[in-house]
């Protein structure tokens, strides 16, 4: 039985294409994916992301606990957030997540919906020895994202909090559309924007207020389809496609969230340290398609007759008007300008490794 978010009836009345995703009936698109994508690039769009999982960590050892569990450094200031991977002892990725530091002894972990049960079990299995409490708030926390260059103009109408004082990857708690919310300048689109966390019963109020406040900017609801093309256009990895247990953050070019400069002994530290020093056999690379076709998850990559990699995500990039993909390639081939071939429907098409992000005009601050 799939769960419904508190905004499910909204999606139905908007005639969204609704599909089960990670145990929730989620809107994939409301009309055309490209139109939703371009609304976020050019103005503003609203997303229901209630399927995401939220774990609240509190207690005197909250920082120490996260420093053990996650590869990035939890010692950020209150009101800041950080992106991190969470790894198995072998360096494979359990999940990637955002952590908001609410207070000296309080954090909110936001995890991928598809990994919720696995993550919860992983967190539970590491509690011993820490003076903390972890609460799974996923079933009563709703998330509405407002993303795009005009997102702030929409949100400023709905809160007394000073949005100018909230930088990228910062947040505050306050009233939003009259309800209690966590207001964060975070997102997964490459654009400026906010993610608003609230309790389930308040979600409809927030959604309706956002749509009303955004009317003058042409706000439209955006489904998970465009969420995927938006993130891919800026080269953000997606768990389950581009990263998983079989890949490490070093291979995935997420070394920047593996904090080896501190002396904190997090899970997989030695393995990742060694891999970084010795260099992994493959890297995640971004490729532009110069031939005709769209490589997709699982498409093989060749250099001449030799298979040298595999595509993990691919799409048409609506804001660029060409196809792009991410994929793992043997070390050496990840260098910018590397020319490879993807086998699409039995035919070879040319792809070229480029610098990420593919789309560089984003309004992200």
Nearer to another protein, 37 or 101 (CB): 37
Determine if 20 is a binding residue for another protein (CB under 8 A). Answer: no
Measured distance CA(139)–CA(5) in Å, rounded: 9
Token code pair at residue 70:
């996650």
Least Å from the CB of residue 301 to another protein: 17
Q: Do 87 and 267 touch, CB atoms closer than 8 A?
A: yes
Measured distance CA(249)–CA(147) in Å, rounded: 27
Nearer to another protein, 98 or 301 (CB): 301
Least Å from the CB of residue 229 to another protein: 6
Measured distance CA(272)–CA(89) in Å, rounded: 9
Binding residues with another protein: total (CB under 8 A): 17
Strand positions, DSSP E, 270-321: 282-289, 300-303, 306-317
Residues 6+ apart with CB under 8 A from 100: 80, 81, 107, 108, 110, 171, 182, 184
**Chain residues 34-93 in contact with another protein, contact rule CB under 8 A:** 34
Determine if 290 is a binding residue for another protein (CB under 8 A). Answer: no
Measured distance CA(199)–CA(185) in Å, rounded: 18
Of 25-33, 84-92, 130-138, 168-176, the segment contacting another protein by CB under 8 A is 25-33
What are the φ/ψ torsions at residue 142 (nearest 5 degrees)? -100, 155
Least Å from the CB of residue 85 to another protein: 26
Q: Which of 69, 99, 294, 301 binds another protein (CB under 8 A)?
A: 294
Nearer to another protein, 195 or 341 (CB): 341
Q: Show the site string, 209-248: x = touches another protein by CB under 8 A, - = not.
A: ----------------x--xx-------------------
Measured distance CA(203)–CA(143) in Å, rounded: 8
**Chain residues 317-336 in contact with another protein, contact rule CB under 8 A:** 318, 323
Determine if 29 is a binding residue for another protein (CB under 8 A). Answer: yes
Site residues for another protein per CB under 8 A: 29, 32-34, 225, 228-229, 292-294, 296, 315-316, 318, 323, 344-345
């Amino acid at each position: 039985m799939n769960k419904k978010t508190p905004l499910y009836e909204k999606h139905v009345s908007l005639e969204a294409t609704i599909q089960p995703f990670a145990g929730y009936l989620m809107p994939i698109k409301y009309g055309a994916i490209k139109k939703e994508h371009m609304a976020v690039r050019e103005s503003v769009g609203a997303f229901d992301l209630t399927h995401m999982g939220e774990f609240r960590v509190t207690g005197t050892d909250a920082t120490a606990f996260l420093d053990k569990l996650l590869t990035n450094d939890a010692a950020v200031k209150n009101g800041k957030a950080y992106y991190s991977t969470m790894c198995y002892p072998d360096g494979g990725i359990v999940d990637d997540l955002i952590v908001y530091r609410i207070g000296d002894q309080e954090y909110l972990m936001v995890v991928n919906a598809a990994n919720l049960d696995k993550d919860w079990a992983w967190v539970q299995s590491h509690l011993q020895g820490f003076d903390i409490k972890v609460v799974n708030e996923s079933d009563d926390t709703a998330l509405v994202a407002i993303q795009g260059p005009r997102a702030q103009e929409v949100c400023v109408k709905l809160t007394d909090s000073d949005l100018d004082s909230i930088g990228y990857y910062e947040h505050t708690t306050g009233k939003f559309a009259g309800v209690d919310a966590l207001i964060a300048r975070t997102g997964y689109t490459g654009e400026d924007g906010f993610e608003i966390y609230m309790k389930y019963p308040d979600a409809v109020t927030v959604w309706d207020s956002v749509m009303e406040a955004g009317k003058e900017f042409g706000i439209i609801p955006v489904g998970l389809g465009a969420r995927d093309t938006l993130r891919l256009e800026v080269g953000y990895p997606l768990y389950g496609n581009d990263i998983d247990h079989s890949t490490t953050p070093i291979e995935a070019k997420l070394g920047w969230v593996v904090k080896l400069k501190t002396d904190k002994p997090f899970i997989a530290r030695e393995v990742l340290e060694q891999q970084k020093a010795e260099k992994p056999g493959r890297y995640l690379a971004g490729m532009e398609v110069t031939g005709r076709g769209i490589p997709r998850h699982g498409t093989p990559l060749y250099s001449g007759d030799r298979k040298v990699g595999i595509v993990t995500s691919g799409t048409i990039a609506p804001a660029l008007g060409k196809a792009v993909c991410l994929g793992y390639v043997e070390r050496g081939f990840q260098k910018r300008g590397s020319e490879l071939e993807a086998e699409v429907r039995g035919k070879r098409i040319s792809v070229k490794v480029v610098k990420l992000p593919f789309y560089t005009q984003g309004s992200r601050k």
